Amino acid sequence: MAPATGRGVEKEEDFLGFSVLSKCGNKKNPPKRKRVNRNKKKNWKKHSDVRDVEEFMDDVRLQERTAGGLLSEKANENLYFVDTGKNKAARKRKLKKRTKPLRIDLILQPDSKVPPPKDISSHQVLNGKKLKRKRERERKLEKKGILPRADRLLLALQDRPSSTHKDEANTNPSRGFYDLWTANNPLDSALEGKDQWYLEQTKRSRVKRPEALNKKPSELPAVEVAAPGASYNPTFESHQSLLLRAHEVEVKKLKEEKKLQRQLKRPTKNELPTEESRLQELCEGLVEESDEDQPAGGEAEHDDQMGRSLHQRERKTERQRKKEKEAKILRAGQEAERRERLRRQSLFQLKSIQASLKSRQDELLRRKKLREEKRKAEALQPKRLGRLKYQEPDLDVLLSEELTESLRKLKPEGSVIKDRFKSFQKRNLIEPRERAKFKRKLKVKYVEKRAFKEISV
């Protein structure tokens, strides 16, 4: 029988070989041993056999998980027990009955007996040193007989006698009545003596209202009294005065319209610019004036200025400097004598000084009154709250022929809603507004339906 070729030959040759490096079975071409440099750290783990160390560490970890430590370090009492053989079955049934845990407890028990690592952050306290100093300070004060504020408030609440007041039933017809808005309201008796902060947090006491909210935005009344001429049966004088006010308002509007038209009006034919005026305006400042237009005396003045400047540049002599110094000292002495003389004469001007001071004080007082009047007048005027200015509404006035003698025939003027709306604006409660203008974005397209078209045709 012919020997097997291929793999069979290799298997037959490697039958006695135990490893690749063994010489048995590789007689023809034995592999060369690979030389490795073990001085380098990257070759330590790659070309080192550490299986025995890993097996030992796995065994140690298994013993720690299952037995809670190394078996070699445990005592004999924890590993062995003496079996005397007396009532073995009964003791086994007893232990099984008493000590057998529930199935859910066995599932929830951890598999490892290694204790969990200690959480250091759970034992740390925020501001621990600060709290420790605070407790030490409280102990020292407690030895002196001084208690903290919280303890003092608690003792005060305990010493306060409890109220034995019992509210009467609402169905009792003979119960007493009281004013709900008075200061000594019996409903507030249960809240007496409690901390204000506690009452605010429990919604039993309102927060103090700021003073700015109590101040009105305007000093104007909510409802202004109409003029006497607006009555349904006014006197002749009051009605004429109201008509005069309305006439002045209309005249003012007419003047503004005329002013606007005058500003926007096109210039007339005589006022239109001509070619000459346009050319003169374009050449303004570009053409220099000729020397002939200058006066003849200009050259003489120029020569005089040049001569003066040359004269000033000449150096002064010692005598001139001495004279100037003596004149300067003399002027200083005269000025000092004049000031001293005026100071002595001011003693005789006390009455005039007092009169000037009094007039000055009167002037300051007058200015102060004017400022106060101006401030009061500004308080009655509406403020600028938005981009639009407040505009006074039109006066509601009836003409002389529209006046009636009875309320039945009276023709109503104005609107209550518009009056209230303008009042809000005037009293600075809302900003002046204008009606939004509707602008259609898309063009309206009219389509005649087929059913209507059949009828119309």
pLDDT tens, residue by residue, 146-184: 888 888 888 888 877 766 666 667 777 777 777 777 777
Whole-angstrom distance, CA of residue 455 vs CA of residue 457: 6
For the segment 135-151, what is each residue's pLDDT rounded down to a tens digit? 999 999 989 988 888 88
Residue type, 53: V
Q: Are 419 and 384 in contact (CB under 8 A)?
A: no
Q: Quick one: pLDDT at residue 19?
A: 52
Q: For 124, phi and psi rounded to 5 degrees?
A: -85, 145
Q: Domain end: 97, 114, 131, which one? A: 114
| Position 271 in a domain | no
Q: Which two tokens stand for residue 178?
A: 């009281």
Last residue of a domain, one of 80, 114, 148: 114
Residue 390: strand, helix, or coil: coil
Q: Quick one: 353 and 377 in the same domain?
A: yes
Assess if residue 443 is contained within a domain. no
Whether 410 and 230 have beta carbons less than 8 Å apart is answered as no
Whether residue 187 lies inside any domain: the answer is no
Residue 105 lies in a domain: yes
> What is d(CA 260, CA 162) in angstroms, rounded to the nearest whole number?
82
Same structural domain, 53 and 1: no
Query: What span, in angstroms and rounded, lies between the C-alpha atoms of 444 and 107?
Result: 78
Flag whether 166 is in a domain: no
Burial label, 229 (beta-carbon count in 10 A; 0-12, 13-18, 19+):
buried
pLDDT above 50 for 2: no
Nearby residues of 240 by Cβ (< 8 Å), 6 or more positions away: 229
Q: Is residue 178 part of a domain?
A: no
The residue assigned the tokens 């790659």 is: 46
Residue length of the chain: 457
Residue 38 DSSP label:
T
Flag the least confident range among 2-11, 263-272, 352-361: 2-11
DSSP character string of 389-429: PP-PPPP----GGG--SSSTTPPP-S-HHHHHHHHHHHTTS
Find all residues with CB under 8 Å of 443, minimum gap 6, and list them.
none
CB atoms under 10 Å from CB of 423, counted, come to 17
Domain-embedded: residue 86: yes
Range of the domain at 70: 40-114
pLDDT score recorded for residue 8: 41
Q: Total domain count for the chain?
A: 5
Q: Which of 101, 82, 98 is nearest to 90 (CA)?
A: 98
How many Å apart are CA 202 and CA 260, to the nearest integer?
65
Higher model confidence: residue 3 or residue 98?
98
Q: What is the DSSP string of 146-195?
A: ---HHHHHHHHHHHSPPP---PPPTT-TT-----TTSTT-GGGGGGTT--
Helical ranges in 21-162 per DSSP H:
51-67, 76-79, 88-99, 103-108, 120-123, 128-143, 149-159
